Amino acid sequence: MASSVLRVMAAITTALTLTIFAPAPAYADDPAVISGVVYSGVPGATVTDGCVTVFQAEAPIEVATDCLDSDQHFRIPVEPGRYKVRVQATGFPEQWYSGKSTFERATPLEITTYGSVIYVRLSGGFADIVGRVVRSDGTPVQYGDVTAYDVAGDFYLTDGLDLNGEYELKDLPVGRYQVSIYANSYGRQWAFGTQDREQAAVFDLSNGEVRVVNDTLLPTGTVEVTMVDAESEDPIRYGCVRLTNPTNVEETCESVGRTFVLDDVPPGDYEVQAGPEGTHWPDTTSLTVEPGQTHRLTIPVERATAFVTTVEEAATGLPAAGVCVQFAEPNLSPAWFFEGCSREDGRLVIGPLEGRVHTQLFALHPQNRYGAQWVGANGGTGDQREAVFFTAENDTATTIPPLKVDPPGSITGVVRDKATGNPMSQVCAFPFALSSTTALDRQSGSHCSDSTGRFTINGLGPYDWPVLHIAVFRTQYAWLWSGGASDRFAARYVPVQAGQSTEANIEMVEGGRISGRGLTSAGQPATSHSIVAHNARTGDLATLWTNGSAWNDGRYELRGLATQDVTLEYFISGRTCWYDRALSRHEATPVHVEAGATTTGIDLVNCSD
């Protein structure tokens, strides 16, 4: 029995408390029995005798008592119910479950017919720490907590601050403590008024003591940041400055006299992130904010490639805020991340960018206040072929003409299976070509058809738009453009009216297939390869990527193709190639495919040799 008790005692890690484990057959063989072990938690002290008493939980009415045997065990039969437990032993103050000094503070036990086992580690006494935390102006700190840490590192107790900034840490085992205050964004400090625990006060608590520990948060500091061009040293007016550390984030995007001012910054170590508008690259530095001090920083930032413009309402000429611009390579869709969004005054900076940039622009408002558009020479357009190309030279902020936006409209319709006439769900509609399969992440929302086959594309500018339909989860269906066309140039462009919805239904057909093998230059099956088809005329993606593997003799099959000529792009042996062993799309040999049929024998050979 003694060795069993020692193993149990060795497993106890919560210092100076009473811990309950239930049920435990080793000590609770009979129903409704409270049993356990009492031992000393005071170095050098031993438990030589003692008694355990059970009381009713609702009132200090004694129910039963058992004194310890030679192994410091006790066993008290009780009726199922709620109880509080007191322990008295020679040389130790009276204490209650779990680690409490009085009946009122004691934690009640819920006893069932299975009983419970408790292990009592007696402490040398209890003390309280109470107090109030205020800011430097005397107002209470209402959100945060105060923690007392045992200097030995074995025990701590935390209480939250109330609306008056007060806290109570009750029934701390006697010992030596330090008190920390964590006030949310203000971070952590130690009583009295220090951020360094080594400089914190140590409170030696005796039994029955109530120690008052009040403290005042350290005064905040001010940080003033000026961002300047690294070459000209001219100040940069627009941008944001952020201060971060593990407990706090401070940010401003407003400059005062070209200086970004952050007031009321809690003391501590910060990373300072200087984020100029997209004409320059961001940079970081470090700073220790001292209590009550003003810190002035000048941060040089390097020039970047960027486009600078304004966004205006086409009808009124007023600034249009919140319009975001994405890039597109020729014949490719817009990226799925915003390059820049217009400010309240309409100013728009697209950057920072690296190197020379030559691209078309796609503009949209995330909340559809304005209609999406390709940026044309004289306003918006829904046809990418009419979009203007803009060029920004390396490390230069290039000013382009204002972007003019219009009110939005929408396109709606019903998707059906042409063979059966049944409505089709989960067919997603896109008003432009896709540049990669990542665009299919947007396969939810009203632009994908519901159970009735209905789809709606919202937020389109009042222009003529092509619409691409993809049955994302059913690759047997061909990708079709509005009007049933196989490519974007042949699509029936759908006219959108501001404030109205234009109907454009579609009938999906079985797609064609292309099959073959991926081969090394020696004619052996390639270990792995991935393939995709582009429309030979437009360069747009014509279906999803697919993969081949030597596990199936290098074979692949592309599905979901409409009737068209395609060029095949494939990644094999670490290199991108085009059919037939070409190095670019323009040199590739076109492959004809028919909807509902399979074109076979199209082997894709490594072009590296």
Q: What confidence score (pLDDT) does residue 33 get?
A: 96
- Give the pLDDT score at 102: 96
Q: Is the pLDDT of residue 508 over 80?
A: yes
What confidence score (pLDDT) does residue 9 get? Answer: 29
Q: Which of 442, 497, 498, 432 is nearest to 467 (CA)?
A: 432
91 confidence band (pLDDT: 50, 70, 90)? very high
pLDDT digits (tens, 9 = 90+) for 197-210: 999 999 999 999 99
pLDDT in tens, 347-397: 999 999 999 999 999 999 999 999 999 999 999 999 999 999 999 999 999
pLDDT digit string, tens, across residues 219-275:
999 999 999 999 999 999 999 999 999 878 999 999 888 899 999 898 989 999 999
268-276 and 283-289: which strand pairing? antiparallel
pLDDT of residue 2: 35
* Per-position DSSP letters for 19-85, written without gaps between them: EEE---TTT--SSSEEEEEEEE-STT------EEEEEESSS--EEEEEE--TTSEEEEE--SEEEEE
Number of helices (H), then strands (E), belonging to the chain: the values are 1, 54
pLDDT, average across residues 394-421: 97
pLDDT of residue 444: 54
Q: Which of 374-378, 396-400, 466-470, 524-528 has the lowest mean pLDDT?
A: 524-528
CA 590, distance to chain mean position in Å, is 44
Percent of the chain, pLDDT > 70? Answer: 90
Record the pTM.
0.71
Structure tokens at 551: 């596990």
Buried b (16+ CB within 10 A) or exposed e, 355-386: eebebbbbbbbeeeebbbbbbbeeebbbbbeb
199: exposed, middle or buried (C-beta count within 10 Å: 0-12, 13-18, 19+)?
Answer: exposed
Q: How confident is the model at residue 445 (pLDDT cuts 50, 70, 90)?
A: low
Residue 473 pLDDT exceeds 90: no
**What integer is the mean pLDDT of 93-107?**
95
Read off the pLDDT of residues 314-348 as tens digits, 9 standing for 90 and up: 999 999 999 999 887 655 556 545 568 999 999 99
pLDDT of residue 20: 34
Give the whole-number percent of the chain exceeding pLDDT 90.
78
559-593 tens-digit pLDDT: 999 999 999 999 987 889 999 999 999 999 999 99
pLDDT at 24 over 50: no
Closest CA to 531 of 427, 432, 603, 476: 603
Instruction: Identify the pLDDT of residue 334.
Output: 60
Residue 1, pLDDT above cutoff 50: no
How far apart CA 343 and CA 130 sit, in angstroms, is 50
Report the SS3 class of residue 385.
helix
The tens digit of pLDDT for each residue in 119-167 reads 999 999 999 999 999 998 999 999 999 999 999 888 899 999 999 999 9
Query: Quick one: pLDDT at residue 136?
Result: 87
Whether residue 439 has pLDDT greater than 70: no
Please give the Cα distance from 290 to 438 (Å, whole number): 47
Name the more confident of 531 and 439: 531
pLDDT band at 466 (very low <50, low <70, confident <90, very high): very high
What values do phi and psi take at 603, rounded to 5?
-85, 140
Average pLDDT over residues 518-536: 88
pLDDT of 34 higher than 70 = yes
Rg (CA), the chain: 37
- CB-based contact 585:499 (threshold 8 Å): no
The total number of residues shown for the chain amounts to: 609
Give the model's confidence band at 101: pLDDT under 50 very low, under 70 low, under 90 confident, else very high.
very high
Please give the Cα distance from 20 to 107 (Å, whole number): 11
The whole-number pLDDT of residue 247 equals 78
Range list of β-strands (E), 188-254? 188-190, 203-205, 210-212, 215-216, 221-229, 239-245, 248-252
Q: Looking at residue 330, what is its pLDDT?
A: 58
pLDDT averaged over the chain? 90
Q: What tokens appear for 104 in the block?
A: 């009122």
Mean of pLDDT values over 284-296: 95
pLDDT(28) > 50: no
Token digits for 423?
A: 């409505």
Is the pLDDT at 10 greater than 80, yes or no?
Answer: no
